[in-house]
Structure 1
Amino acid sequence: MIQRVPFLNTFYDNLTAQQTLEIIKNAIYTKQQIHHTVINANKVVLLQKDLELRNSVNSADIINIDGAGVLWGAKILGKPVKERVTGIDLMEAVLKMAQKENFKVYFLGAKEEIVKTLVDLYSEKYGENIISGYQNGYFNNQNEPEIVNIIAQSNPQILFVAMPSPKKENFLYKYRKDFSDINFIMGVGGSFDVLAGKVSRAPVWLQKMGMEWFYRLIQEPKKMWKRYLIGNLSFIYLILNSKIKK
């Protein structure tokens, strides 16, 4: 049974990466649907006021801790955490599983050249048989129903959606019933950019220190400064305020 832990108006599921992967695999074989999401410091700050995002996140079947800040905050508040499960690492593990188990994957999001590069890379690495289809993330609200129908008709078992928050969370929540035959649906943020080689990921030693955010900030300061500097300060305030009230 999944242990769901309350955390600053949201939750996280106290699971290891391996436990998460086993739940996903079982859902695919039993033809159930798992709507997966992650939380990080920025997302926790956003959902304090964004009630649509809060509902989209809290309605997911699995909520993993992606950000090191949430890991730190949970420890400060004395809440149990087995393991940090980053979205990008889980995505790669699911892709390996897809090859082994002959599951099909659909990739939605990012720019056309990014998603095409990613699909080419994984077609070469794992074989074309795991690719159900792909679509860039540059479409408007009027095109959404058509895109959703194309994805559903391609019959994947797995759907990865690379869009920023709160767009990806709300998109997956809104269309989860249209994707009822897709067994695992997951928002992966900027993972396509990293895995396609457009943005480099922090070295492992920085990841272990919980400083991956700083590495990203250095690479894209104009895009990330508000999220990481202002957002992180807001998150620290939420943690300390909650600690004082306990």
Structure 2
Amino acid sequence: MEGKRVHLLGSPLDLLTMNETLSQIETLISTQKPSQHVVINASKINLMAENSQLRTIIEESPLVNADGQSIVWAARFLGFKVSERVTGIDLFENIVIRAAEKGWRVYYFGATEEVVQIVVKKHRKKYPNLNVVGYRNGYFEEAESSSIAQKIHESRADVLFVAFSSPKKELWIHAHKDEMQVPFVMGVGGSFDVVAGKTKRAPRWMQKTGLEWFYRFIQEPRRMFKRYIIGNFRFIKHVFREKRERRGAIKISEKNSK
């Protein structure tokens, strides 16, 4: 992975394909040291701009993927070569497949009790060799966090999927990573709801054209207005600001080299 990490819009980003990402995850799991994976999208960039703790967590992550098509477009606009988007939900499914093949112990944490049970049931049926060592819904009091982390530690999980929203999932994982001692922890957001059939994912053509956010917006326009409409304008401002700054830095460099 050396040489493939860049920094843009205040965040690190690893310029990896899906297969390269899976290889890196396998390496992280083999070390048996706790690590936290993060994906970034337009919303995450906006959150990082106002949350220094989240920004620090992402900076410290050994693996950061481009979840949103907006990140891919922004990176290319800013001069970085991004070969493909590695979405959180697609990576989630690919890790489950790899876990079944490699014998990794997997733990599911988040969503409602009904949803997490459906996800575990579906994955066990689809991947008979999958070793699910535990699951839990995502509804709890903060005072329960340490006992939950201890139970996850006792499960000896190799992989933990945490289905909370951002920045809650990043903050919770970071706070309890050392207690859990799970080699690979991944925040998967609403992926459990999609796998369970509670939420529909955008058609393939909308995913490829970068309109997945719009499909999500039309499903829940009131709840998603701030995130997607106002948030997208904020993200575009971040992109053009960085473009101007990069141009300015190039001009200063050229002037100094003369």
Q: Above 0.5 in TM-score?
A: yes
Which digits, 9 at most, give the CA deviation of each residue in 1:61-83, with x for residues without a partner?
10000001111111111122122
Give the match for residue 25 of structure 2: 24
Give the match for residue 232 of structure 1: 232
User: Within 5 Å, which residues of 2 pair with 1:5-20?
Assistant: 5-20=6-21
Give the match for residue 186 of structure 1: 186
In the TM superposition, residue 102 of structure 1 has moved relative to its aligned partner by: 1.3
Range moving further from structure 2, 14-23 or 74-83? 74-83
In the TM superposition, residue 12 of structure 1 has moved relative to its aligned partner by: 0.5
Query: Are 1:113 and 2:114 counterparts?
Result: yes
Which digits, 9 at most, give the CA deviation of each residue in 1:193-223, with x for residues without a partner?
1111100111111100010000111112122
For residues 72 and 159 of structure 1, the distance between their equivalents in structure 2, rounded to whole angstroms, comes to: 30
Give the match for residue 52 of structure 1: 53
Which digits, 9 at most, give the CA deviation of each residue in 1:137-185, with x for residues without a partner?
11121110011111111111100000000000111111111122x2211
Query: Are 1:70 and 2:71 counterparts?
Result: yes
Query: Are 1:242 and 2:235 counterparts?
Result: no
Range moving further from structure 2, 79-88 or 39-48? 79-88
Unaligned runs of 5+ in 1: none
For residues 48 and 187 of structure 2, the distance between their equivalents in structure 1, rounded to whole angstroms, comes to: 16
Give the match for residue 166 of structure 2: 165
Q: What percentage of aligned pairs have identical amino acids?
A: 43
Give the match for residue 221 of structure 2: 221
Paired letter, 2:202: A
| Secondary structure in 1 matching 2:200 | coil
CA contact (8 A) 1:202 1:216 kept: yes
For residues 8 and 29 of structure 1, the distance between their equivalents in structure 2, rounded to whole angstroms, comes to: 31
Give the match for residue 249 of structure 2: none
Give the match for residue 86 of structure 1: 87
TM-score (norm 2): 0.91
Range moving further from structure 2, 75-84 or 41-50? 75-84
Unaligned runs of 5+ in 2: 247-258
Which digits, 9 at most, give the CA deviation of each residue in 1:66-119, with x for residues without a partner?
001111111111122122110100010000011111111100111111111111
For residues 215 and 131 of structure 2, the distance between their equivalents in structure 1, rounded to whole angstroms, comes to: 32
Give the match for residue 128 of structure 2: 127
In the TM superposition, residue 33 of structure 1 has moved relative to its aligned partner by: 3.6
In the TM superposition, residue 245 of structure 1 has moved relative to its aligned partner by: 2.3
For residues 151 and 35 of structure 2, the distance between their equivalents in structure 1, rounded to whole angstroms, comes to: 20
Which has the larger helix fraction?
2
Give the match for residue 154 of structure 1: 155
For residues 151 and 87 of structure 1, the distance between their equivalents in structure 2, rounded to whole angstroms, comes to: 22
Give the match for residue 198 of structure 1: 198
For residues 158 and 50 of structure 1, the distance between their equivalents in structure 2, rounded to whole angstroms, comes to: 27
Give the match for residue 175 of structure 1: 176
For residues 146 and 40 of structure 1, the distance between their equivalents in structure 2, rounded to whole angstroms, comes to: 31
Query: Are 1:208 and 2:224 counterparts?
Result: no
Range moving further from structure 2, 29-38 or 53-62? 29-38
In the TM superposition, residue 129 of structure 1 has moved relative to its aligned partner by: 4.8
CA contact (8 A) 2:11 2:55 kept: yes
| Structure 1 segments (4+ residues) deviating >4 Å | none
CA contact (8 A) 2:32 2:183 kept: yes
For residues 32 and 143 of structure 2, the distance between their equivalents in structure 1, rounded to whole angstroms, comes to: 30
